[in-house]
Structure 1
Amino acid sequence: MPPLNLGDEMPNMTVVTNEGTIKMHDFLADSWAILFSHPRDYTPVCTTELGRACTLAPEFAKRKVKMIALSCDDADSHNGWIKDVQSHANHKGDFPYQIIADESREVAKKLGMIDPDESAAAGMPLTCRAVMIFGPDKRLKLSMLYPATTGRNFTEILRVIDSLQLTATKKVATPVDWTVGSKCMVVPSVKKEEEAGLFPKGVETLDVPSGKGYLRMTPQPE
């Protein structure tokens, strides 16, 4: 099975997590969700990443985004390592998301999460630092792949979720370095005569040497 491309549906796989067995479609239901993989438990960069995700869990919940992680370690390893993650992140209470135990690498292979440059002691390939965001239709909306040596920026992940959720329902795109509350860009499919009805706060068309009025800015729609 080829790796998932944007727009592909998450396979309805049965997976084992540190909390038990789940089917992915049941987990996703009709919610936004993020699946993020890491190479190994009990490793330094991974500990900082999952700790940061733990700290930011209320921000994901505020956006109604379910969280689930994955690595090639077994469930017992996950449950032991979680104590280190919480200690490092100074997180109290229950751990806020499940971690898939993908010892066979079958889930990682199906989703395209294998890092060819990283191997376990037994010579088995490890998962890369992948980020996959799924919409309520269970289809892949965004994916990012990082090598084992580079930790992810979860603030950026929240930013792109804000963009995805906004642009899924409004006829706008978000420009470079956009953050919530900043101006957006009107998508090219919107006709000039539609602007007033769609964007009551107004539209500004920026001048460019070509004279083509394709750079149209509008305040972020409500």
Structure 2
Amino acid sequence: MALQLGDTVPNFTQDSTEGVINFYDWAGDSWVVLFSHPKDFTPVCTTELGTVARLKPEFDKRNAKVIALSVDDSDSHRSWVGDIEETQKATMNYPILADPDRKVSDLYGMIHPNANNTLTVRSVFIIDPQKKLRLTFTYPASTGRNFDEILRVIDSLQLTDNYSVATPADWKDGGDCVVVPSIPTEEAKQKFPKGVTEVKPYLRLTPQPNK
């Protein structure tokens, strides 16, 4: 059964470049971005891992931990880290899970047989502090991920969890938000003192409430 949004993600204990990790214990009360890679020493993955290392302060600001996974073992991962740091001019500052037994790949549905029956696809799982799956992306092995988009999604999830708003197309932190349909306009005007613009009765905009 594939993981679906809102599901509690499964726990696991697996080796990594930073030692054995029990996922729930490691995650603690943080958000988590778990992202998988087809295998070690692959070119697109090398650029992705370096990009995330450089962006780690941005994830830290959002109380989000990052953790990668590849189906090779930890010794292979550690050798690969040297290449990543050399070519991407970045210091690896987060763990890469080993998954030679495909335990995590199978738990999280990372192997898509019609794409490749041995390698994980480029999956992204955003998991909240309650261990609920909040978002998934799945990319083909040939396409590198946009990690600015992943940060944008975390911003949206954290905002909309705490305020009665949704975020429109192409929203970025600081942009106007959509008032959720369940709130009547007159009530919304009280709730959002920065103002409510009624474009249509079902489409009301308000400045981002936590800015």
- Please, what TM-score do these two structures have when normalized by structure 2? 0.95
Residue matched to 1:205: 198
Residue matched to 2:58: 59
Contact 1:15 1:23 in 2 (8 A): yes
CA RMSD in angstroms, aligned pairs only: 1.3
Match of 1:114 among 105, 111, 114: 111
Structure 2 CA distance for aligned equivalents of residues 115 and 100 of structure 1:
19
Provide the aligned length of Structure 1 versus Structure 2.
210
Matched, 1:221 2:209: yes
- What's the offset of the Cα at 1:16? 1.4
Match of 1:135 among 128, 135, 138: 128
Contact 1:118 1:125 in 2 (8 A): no
Residue matched to 2:118: 125
- State the AA in 1 paired with 2:8: E
Matched, 1:32 2:37: no
Aligned to 1:70, the other structure's residue is in SS state: strand
Residue matched to 2:41: 42
Aligned to 1:206, the other structure's residue is in SS state: strand
Residue matched to 1:157: 150
Structure 1 CA distance for aligned equivalents of residues 78 and 115 of structure 2:
23
Residue matched to 1:210: none
Identity across the alignment (%): 53
- State the AA in 1 paired with 2:105: A
Residue matched to 1:105: 102
- What's the offset of the Cα at 1:184? 0.4
Residue matched to 2:166: 173
Q: 1:6-53: per-residue Cα shift (whole Å, max 9, x none)?
A: 011121211111121121110111111100001011011110111111
Structure 1 CA distance for aligned equivalents of residues 190 and 83 of structure 2:
53
Contact 1:54 1:89 in 2 (8 A): no
Q: 1:181-211: per-residue Cα shift (whole Å, max 9, x none)?
A: 110000111123321332110110104xxxx
Q: Which runs of 5+ in 2 are unaligned?
A: none
Structure 1 CA distance for aligned equivalents of residues 13 and 2 of structure 2:
17
Q: 1:78-117: per-residue Cα shift (whole Å, max 9, x none)?
A: 111011111222124xx21101101111211110111324
Aligned to 1:84, the other structure's residue is in SS state: helix
